[in-house]
Structure 1
Amino acid sequence: MTHGQNTNQQLREMNESILTHLFLPYHLPSSSDADFCLQSNHRYEYVILECMSRFLTLCTIDNDQIISPIIETLITCTQRWHLLQKNLSITNLKSAIEQLHPSDFLPLYFHAQNAAILIEIDENNDHQPLISSWQVSLPTEKISSSLQSHQACFPVNIYRLSDRSCLTSTAHCELLLDFMKNPIEYSKSYKISRDVPFSHYVTQWYIQQFPNVILDDSCKHTTEFTKKSRDQIRWNNGALPFRRSGLWLTMKVVFETILTKRLEIVGCTIV
């Protein structure tokens, strides 16, 4: 196979994988080895976010009208996020956090922890950022034991940090880098193609390590929305589907969170 043919084959596999994760989860293969985005320990999963970043940017090209502040927020968010998701390092993480302006968002998805975090710079208090974290995918025993769809409610608890400098400390950046690369704990029934790591180190322990962190009451006044989790895993005796991309599931929650906060839309359910 020539270099050009190999490139075309990879491009076709990438496009098929992305479209399947986004729109056709029941056509996903039963093994991550057969999926472009998830193979080699989710090596190329970041391309889903990269393609979304390109799509949002292309939507503004040849548009003579002023870009909506909400669209601009989504574009800035995805541009920073996809660069970190592709290659997280202490240097680029510090730089991304330092560049955040009031009303900016910075998410991160940790496949190795089955968890995500969302940093928000409060437009009224940019020295005390808001931060939240949540479990991305349900464990096997929860999602395959019932035909009923499981729904997660957002926004989750949001915490206010005492000082923005906590986010750019070397110790904090090293911790996030470790979360990205190293699974901390799996369930006893863990199987590499089926179950997910425990997420409690990110969803419970992580935020409590910040000094003087407090629960922010403003989230009580934010419109709630729910996310269905029914289609993220195949049944015990079924061949399809394999788990959908956790990054894509995180992207949906992050985008819905931003739109809900900025537009104050009526609560809804995303699938």
Structure 2
Amino acid sequence: MPQHPNRHLTDQADLLYTINHVFLPLKLPQGSDHSLENDLALSQAIFDAALAFSDQLPSDKLVLWSSSLKMLRNFKDSIRFSVMSAKEVESQVNSMDNNDVLVYMIRAQNAAVVMRKLESETIFESFEMSPDPTAVMGAKGRLICSYPGPAITVPDTIANDATFHAELANFLACMDKDVLDAAPTRKKAKSTVLEERDTTHPRHITKLLTSILRGLGSIADVPRIRKRIGDDVLWDSAKLPWRRSPLWLVIRVALQTTLERGALGRMTYKSFMLFFMARLTTLALDHDLSNNILHFMSAKIARRLFKLGSSASPQLSQMISMVTGDVRSILEERWGSVQDAQQVSPPWAPENLQVLRDAHLSLNTSRKYIHQVLYNQHSSPQRSPFDPSHHVGVVPSSRGSLGIVRMGSSALPLP
């Protein structure tokens, strides 16, 4: 049975933001809608869905899923403020147990860092959060990207040191707020202006931090995933363009790579994504959203269930069937209301008619034509005299009769 949807997405603006960035419907905003409040709403919605998803799993998998829950909770806490707290990061790193995962958004550097605690080492992974807009607009279809980027393993003799934890937390917190690269510029109206629509190169994380950790450890050989990135750059009379939420990408990459390397596997990740999208669809029904959005959401979750096939649990399949059935019922009810309204004849109220005003025609460019029609002032076409330049001659016909030939033209025999 479907769980009650996220209680935090009570505001319709927050819900529309989440739907736009999760479902990527056909009609999207034409300007940036990013804000800290929207990020918090999205991260909270995912965490609440992960809690509810526990009911979909058998008891022997709940312990494995709890690691992902802990990762999502820590991630949600790390983005509560516009500037990352070094103390909170240090506390989370100190609290890591074996098989725990931490993920951080380094917002000023357009990069994400994933830490994986193993029995005798800690693996540090990094990748770019928001692709370069030139690559997004230049791609035919969707971008195909590999995640994560560089990966470094650091032994526990260093990774468990308290000084290392403090320095790492301080480095990440500073990088989260410090703008180190000079902003790109462009020419506009013969003057140089800052180009704020470009994304920051993640080199200070993917290269600088990687190089520092490489001096303490070694390159890690980790499994990588390929994702088709559905992104866009939409801009119309706005300061900044609309881009798909980097937070949504970071969570998906961290969650998918974590589940695929464990016993839960890829199907658990796909099932959770479908479960989360179904909860959003249920919430969209409660907010009475437009027909286009409801149909798009229903079609998308139905297609995801079809692709899962027999891998989807009966409980999840029943949930999707109920949600899509509710959407269909509402759309049919709305269409029936439209049909009923169209069948009713308009009321006849002649006293409300304004014949003179409604019959007034404005023909501003037809005055000359109307004047000519009314007064019959059409000019008759002048006839030019016919004066042929050729001569007529008579020659014997091959059949013994006479034929008329016009010199300079084809012969025309007489009957």
TM-score by length of 1: 0.78
| CA RMSD, Structure 1 to Structure 2 (Å) | 3.3
Q: Deviations over 1:119-149 (max 9, x none)?
A: 0001x31xx3110101122112222123243
Counterparts of residues 54-93 of structure 1 (less than 5 Å) = 54-60=48-54, 65-87=59-81, 88-93=84-89
Is 1:141 matched with 2:141? no
AA aligned to 1:108 is: Y
- Confirm or deny: 8 A CA contact 2:124 2:153 kept in the other structure: yes
Q: Which residue of 2 aligns with 1:215?
A: 219
Report the Cα distance in structure 1 between the residues aligned to 2:18 and 2:60, rounded to whole angstroms: 30
Report the Cα distance in structure 2 between the residues aligned to 1:169 and 1:101, rounded to whole angstroms: 14
Q: Which residue of 1 aligns with 2:200?
A: 197
Instruction: Report the CA distance shift for 1:265/1:252 in structure 2 as closer, same or farther (over 3 A).
Output: closer
Deviation of the 1:235 alpha carbon:
7.9
* Match for residue 161 of structure 1 among 150, 154, 159: 154
Is 1:258 matched with 2:258? yes
Q: Deviations over 1:50-74 (max 9, x none)?
A: 2111111123369894552332111
Higher relative contact order (CA 8 A, sep 6+): 1
Q: Which residue of 2 aligns with 1:3?
A: none
Is 1:109 matched with 2:105? yes
Q: Deviations over 1:241-260 (max 9, x none)?
A: 82000010111111110111
- Confirm or deny: 8 A CA contact 2:150 2:210 kept in the other structure: no
Deviation of the 1:107 alpha carbon:
0.4
Instruction: Report the CA distance shift for 1:265/1:50 in structure 2 as closer, same or farther (over 3 A).
Output: closer
- Confirm or deny: 8 A CA contact 1:115 1:136 kept in the other structure: yes
* Match for residue 123 of structure 2 among 103, 119, 130: 130
Report the Cα distance in structure 2 between the residues aligned to 1:216 and 1:62, rounded to whole angstroms: 34
Counterpart secondary structure, 1:177:
helix
> Who wins on radius of gyration, i.e. which is larger?
2
Aligned residue pairs, count? 247
Report the Cα distance in structure 2 between the residues aligned to 1:74 and 1:18, rounded to whole angstroms: 21
Percent sequence identity is: 16
Q: Which residue of 1 aligns with 2:22?
A: 22
Report the Cα distance in structure 2 between the residues aligned to 1:135 and 1:9, rounded to whole angstroms: 28
Instruction: Report the CA distance shift for 1:214/1:151 in structure 2 as closer, same or farther (over 3 A).
Output: same
Instruction: Extract unaligned runs of 5+ from structure 2.
Output: 1-7, 187-193, 274-415
Q: Which residue of 1 aligns with 2:145?
A: 152
Instruction: Report the CA distance shift for 1:255/1:229 in structure 2 as closer, same or farther (over 3 A).
Output: same
AA aligned to 2:176 is: M
Q: Which residue of 2 aligns with 1:206?
A: 209
Q: Deviations over 1:69-101 (max 9, x none)?
A: 332111111011110121331211111111111
TM-score by length of 2: 0.53
Instruction: Extract unaligned runs of 5+ from structure 1.
Output: 1-7
* Match for residue 116 of structure 2 among 109, 120, 132: 120
